[in-house]
Structure 1
């Protein structure tokens, strides 16, 4: 079977788990990612906006306007995360390139690599310096990711959020926190 068909089918299956068996999502994603290599990164990147089929057991009515695409993108970035730091050049292209929904997800994965000790602190400084060129939507989505990561691991507060000086990101964090 064609590699792109296998990957497309698996992305759809894994994304479906978020809705049907969320407790299995991370384990199954990590398991599938173990079969991938850095050679698969271009194919994964090409799937960011693909209209992948929704599995039959997923309630389409509950997905909303962009729910399925967002779920598939989340899955793809989890796969990329598990491929590891070989993905850093591609992640930087996405993170620092032209605005796209995926920009904040790439920033999140770079941040997670740093927190895992796979990248030096300079990556946070690089993210900080590039935030000034990004749209507010990217700040908002990255802020949402940082808040979620901080809930799981308080080190994100001191090692990432406080290190980043970009005022727009801090405004986005404040805005999200004020709403909750």
Structure 2
């Protein structure tokens, strides 16, 4: 991002528009794998926080006629790799002037092939759930209400609204003459 006065160089960005929300991903890598330089980690974290605020402002300027309810759907994501893990943070506008930054999740980076059975699944799940793409069981979406009809009690109701065809509906079994 470069607005002429300030410049933010992220290690990477990605913008996704899935029509229900706009999401932007910002990445920072603080040193090499296994390195824990507290000053660099803290600086990159704060730099990203200000970068996310600048991105929120830039989107607000580009979409200045949007409502606050629409704008509240904007979510900026931040992946911060340092030490042996990747941390996922997000920032959103909850109300005018209120910006919330939340640590969403953390995952250790798998490096040992011999431990792949216990380390790779959390790593895969981390990236599957990134940017709000939470896995959802089909049974939580498809859940019709099933009622048990009692023949003695419901016969008259079912007969009244029964499986009759509408008079002008086509006959699926035409009469052959």
Q: Which has the higher helix share?
A: 1
TM-score (norm 1): 0.31
TM-score (norm 2): 0.32
**Larger relative contact order (C-alpha < 8 A, sep ≥ 6)?**
1
The structure with more radius of gyration:
2
Q: Which has the higher strand share?
A: 2
